[in-house]
Amino acid sequence: MPELDGELSRDIYYASFDDLKLFVRHYPAPDEKFRSVICLPGLSRNSRDFDRLATYLSKHAEKPRNVYCFDYRGRGRSQYDRNWRNYIPYIELLDTLDFLTLRGLHKVAVVGTSRGGIIAMLMAALRPTAMGAVVLNDIGPVMETRGLARIMGYVGRMPAPRSWPDAAMIVREMNERAFPAFSDAQWEEIAHDVFDERKGRPVRAYDRKIARAFGSIDLSRPVPDLWPQFIALGQVPAFVLRGANSDVLSAETLEAMVERHPNLRTLTVPDQGHAPVLKEPDTLETIRAFLAAND
């Protein structure tokens, strides 16, 4: 049975196909009247990134809906994989689909940030009946080499913070060029999303071996695109957010996505890069309204 975690969410653990203990944070709604949502984070991120969005959706007065936020294997509170080669989107998709099967969830809405959006596109191609709507957060079928190189440069190499103020300083120094309008309080909040806490101190919240899997991408050659997988999303309502300062999803790629999807909405988030943090009231309400319009 899920464990209660405060008043807003429950902890769920389940076993993967290869018997890893995986974690999902469930934000329950009063009933299951409206479409459930699953939230899939970025490469090295975790379920905490979606806390504000999940709370907003699950507690909304008009259309509250169940929200499930995932920690992939090797991230957050999920077990690490002994084989680093399993830290790939396809395996993470299988883990996600296993959870949907266990919970009896069908036609869910998927909110995918970066890596999570890649998994969503794979889901549309390989298990289209699992999905009823999708929100892609700063990701598309073409990923810019500049952004991939930046991510490759810090995954597994982020310095260990000595304290929470130090953690906030680290994430600020790494990201403030793309997020110039963030306040000190916002950087502190993001630090608590990025890092776990152990004995009162921040610690890395993912398996460093993820960097080995991600680092196998050869940036000296063209990165394969995901246009076939994106086109598979044409059967469901889709919404794409792009950070105005993004170095992963270009404005040109977003324009091409609009041309190829018959029912695509978009939002460019000002003063944010890769990827928008999904915390501002306007952004939360836009996502909620999109989901409500497509129930």
Q: Which domains does the chain have, with CATH numbers?
A: 3-154+224-293 (3.40.50.1820)
Task: Please state whether beta strands 3-5 and 9-15 pair in parallel, antiparallel, or not at all (unpaired).
Answer: antiparallel
Instruction: List beta partners, residue 200.
Output: none
Q: pTM of the predicted model, to two decimals?
A: 0.95
C-alpha–C-alpha distance, residues 291 and 237, integer Å: 9
DSSP label at 13? Answer: E
- Tell me what pLDDT residue 6 has: 46
CA angle 18, 10, 45 (to 5 degrees): 60
Q: What is the pLDDT along the chain (295 residues), one digit of tens a residue?
A: 334 344 689 999 999 999 999 999 999 998 889 999 999 999 999 999 999 999 999 999 999 999 999 999 999 999 999 999 999 999 999 999 999 999 999 999 999 999 999 999 999 999 999 999 999 999 999 999 999 999 988 887 888 899 999 999 999 999 999 999 999 999 999 999 999 999 999 999 999 999 999 887 877 777 889 999 999 999 999 999 999 999 999 999 999 999 999 889 999 999 999 999 999 999 999 999 999 999 9
166 token code pair:
């130090």
Report, in angstroms and rounded to the nearest whole number, the Rg of the chain calculated over CA atoms.
18
3-state secondary structure of 245: coil
179 token code pair:
């997020």
